[in-house]
Structures are given as C-alpha cells and as structure tokens.
Amino acid sequence: MARCETPEDERNQARIAAHIEQLWRCRLRKLQQWEHIDYAMLPGRVGERIVAWVEIKCRKITCRQYPDIMCSVHKWVPGVTRALITRLPYYFIVECMDDGKIIYHEFDRNLKLRVEWRGRTNRGPTDPDVEPCVMIPVSHFSEVTTGDQSELW
C-alpha cells in the first residue's frame, strides 16, 4: 500500500477542507487512514447524514498545466466503491497553484478514464509513490465557487 502523505500534506488537506466547508456550507469529517479516502461530507445543518465522499489533493501545478489530473487508483477505487454502493457522490477535489484555485471532479460512472503507471519519480528508483493512477481530463473538473451547494447532493 502506497501511503506517502506527509504532515504538510495533512495540513494542506485540513486547510482546503476548511475552505470547502465555508464555501459549500457543509462539514467534512476526516475518515480513518485505513479507509483510504479523506472525508465524509455532511450538510451544514444539524444531523449526521453523509451526503458525499471526498478526496482532497494539493498539487504543485497549475490547473491547466497538463491535460489530465491524476488520482491514485488506491484512492480512487474506495471512493468509487462507496459512491456506487451508497449512491452518494464522490468528489475528487484539487487545489492548484493558480492563486489557490480549487477544482473538483464528481465521479461519473459513464466516463471512461485511462489508467496509467504514474506518480512522483523525484525520490529515486525505490519511490513507493509510483503506482497505477486514474487520469481525469481537466475538462471534467469544475471550479469550486461560493455558496450553498446542497443542490449537488
């Protein structure tokens, strides 16, 4: 199992999650590490009903630097599985270097995605962060905007 999240990655995720909570008027509850995805999304009102599953990444690229944004299959499959079983959305949320621009992709079972052997290669030949990755076209992402997003769920 490739798990290369650093304390900085976790701080970035928490910062982005807090921003999403403010913009979308929801709550994100951090899931356990063994669950392989980052958050469960709950409505901002009282109640513990889960309305979506969320994976958050902070990328050191601009949003349109590459035609695709990759997500580890290790992270993608648990989110997709939960989405299919629970019939709830699975959001892959990415913060890019475009002045903190945040974009998201909602899993679409009808969208055929490429899977490639990808990842960080700047850590040497034994780098555990190179693995099968789902390649999601940037054109299938939307920008996170301000306001109540309850229509998403």
pLDDT at residue 126 is higher than 90: no
Q: Answer whether residue 90 is part of any domain.
A: yes
- How many domains does the chain fold into? 1
The CATH number of the domain holding residue 45 is 3.40.1350.10
Position with higher pLDDT, 44 vs 84: 84
What is the Cα–Cα distance from 150 to 148, expressed in whole angstroms? 6
Domain with 89 in it: 7-119+129-144
Position with higher pLDDT, 2 vs 150: 150
Q: Answer whether residue 1 is part of any domain.
A: no
What is the Cα–Cα distance from 97 to 61, expressed in whole angstroms? 6
Q: Answer whether residue 153 is part of any domain.
A: no
Cβ atoms of residues 140 and 105 within 8 Å: yes
- Give the tokens for residue 85: 């079983």
- Sheet harboring 130-137: ordered strands across? 68-72, 130-137, 114-119
Q: What's residue 147's pLDDT?
A: 63
Report the chain's mean pLDDT, rounded to a whole number: 87
Assign 2 a pLDDT band (cuts: 50, 70, 90). Answer: very low
Q: What's residue 47's pLDDT?
A: 67
